[in-house]
Structure 1
Amino acid sequence: MKILAVDTATEACSAALRIEGETISEFQLAPGAHTQLILQMVERLLQQADIKIAALDALAFGRGPGSFTGVRIATGIVQGLAFASDLGVIPISTLAAIAQRASEEHAHKNVLAGIDARMGEVYWGCYQQADNGLVTLQGTEQVSRPEALEISDPQIDWLGAGSAWGSYAEPLQLKLKPQVSRYDAHCLPSAVHIVQLAQYQYQQGRCVEAAQALPVYLRNDVAKKSTKKV
């Protein structure tokens, strides 16, 4: 199985290539430079593996939520590559990628993943690690103010992960203690974990055509502006 994944939904820019269970990748914190970096990353990985895009089985990408511009960059790149090489696409939630990374790095099965959505809100979702080692969404992904978050199962211990825990640590802790005992505010999505989740989706036959590989913003009004009360 050969899958290429990219992610540009946050300040992190990354690409990963998984071939027969082995993964090579590139990851860089580069706010505002994703357009310049991501195709170069893809090209280097393909050269390193000595493989052409057309020889892959599928493409995967971080479908959001996240930065509107960043999510669109990954979506556009993957759609273009998929159209050109007639490949299927596997969209993966960036919140799921954060949860997968946090679950592995902290050996914790229950993760409340959150991304700073700006305008005083967070994108968030509750994930639990299944028997196969991959995280699954509990309930739905949402966007809300930090004080409105609700844990899917408050009777168990949760790990917080993602930039929301850096931007809104105080209100999140006030709302969610003691259910969330600790958090990692520096846990960002990575193409390594996107391709890991995508492999399972591919095995389940959950590829879509390029035209159906769409971003997920969660916030309906992408042009919404914050306002001040006078």
Structure 2
Amino acid sequence: MSEKNYLVIDASTEACSVALLYQGKTSSLYELCPQSHSLRLLPMIDELLTTADCKLQNLDGIIFGQGPGSFTGVRIGIGVTQGLAFSANLPVVGVSTLQAMAQQALNEHGETRVVSAIDARMSEVYTGYYEADSNNIMQPKTAESVLAPELVKQHYIDKVNLDLADLPYGVGTGWEAYKNDLADLKSNTGEPEILFPHAQAMLFIGQHAFEQNKGVEAEHAQPVYVRDTVSWKKLPGK
């Protein structure tokens, strides 16, 4: 991979995470700060850039968390990405929240088969199944979906021939939120160690995307909500 410099921004979940690859060195900041992304994201970016003595003009691109996750958080992350990219005329690449957590499982634990499940509220989870490719990047083997927890098992049996005797590794908040429906679908027991995405995992995926010329202009940075807006109708009695 060529020597390029990238900033990574993610605010798509309760975590706020930024990373910087500059002159071959990687640095990052990570905070759990629900409801405070708009206050913390820019100061965290400024701290990373200042500490590394890096200016936006020194970068070759910006990588951002595109969702799924919190509608507000995804919009905040993309808004900041677009503002910075426009100001320095930088290309951008979006990375899936679910894919990033699967990548963390590979990077940190050597897991090559991963199911990500994020609590999507409204008694649903955002979920996707990933396997490592020859470049050690976790690639989706199904379309990312939003499902009722009780439907997830059959979904993966149908889509990837899930073998209940050889389960994948589980990451994300969905496993704890809906443990009764999901617990027997992952090899790791209890609450997953990896609950939220980290910008460093997005950096690894985003670098390869830039190498494949998948960078786009800032105006084309798009969120991936997964959930159809029709699903946001009020629940009975609400």
Question: How much does 1:170 deviate?
Answer: 1.0
Within 5 Å, give how 1:1-230 maps onto structure 2. 1-149=4-152, 150-151=155-156, 152-155=160-163, 156-173=166-183, 177=184, 180-182=186-188, 184=192, 186-221=194-229, 224-228=232-236
TM-score by length of structure 1 reads: 0.93
**Size of the alignment, in residue pairs?**
226
Deviation readout 1:71-125 (Å, 9 max, x if unpaired): 0000100011111111000000000111111222222110000111100000000
Root mean square deviation of aligned Cα: 1.7
Do the aligned partners of 1:124 and 1:143 also contact (CA within 8 Å) in 2?
Answer: yes
Do the aligned partners of 2:104 and 2:194 also contact (CA within 8 Å) in 1?
Answer: no
Do the aligned partners of 1:65 and 1:93 also contact (CA within 8 Å) in 2?
Answer: yes
**In percent, how many aligned pairs have the same letter?**
39
TM-score by length of structure 2 reads: 0.90
Structure (1/2) with the larger strand percentage = 1
Structure 1: gaps (5+ residues): none
Alpha-carbon distance change, 20 to 204 in structure 1, aligned in 2, over 3 angstroms: farther
Do the aligned partners of 1:2 and 1:17 also contact (CA within 8 Å) in 2?
Answer: yes
Structure 1 Cα separation of the partners of residues 174 and 234 of structure 2: 18
Structure 2 Cα separation of the partners of residues 197 and 222 of structure 1: 31
Moved segments of 4+, more than 3 Å? none
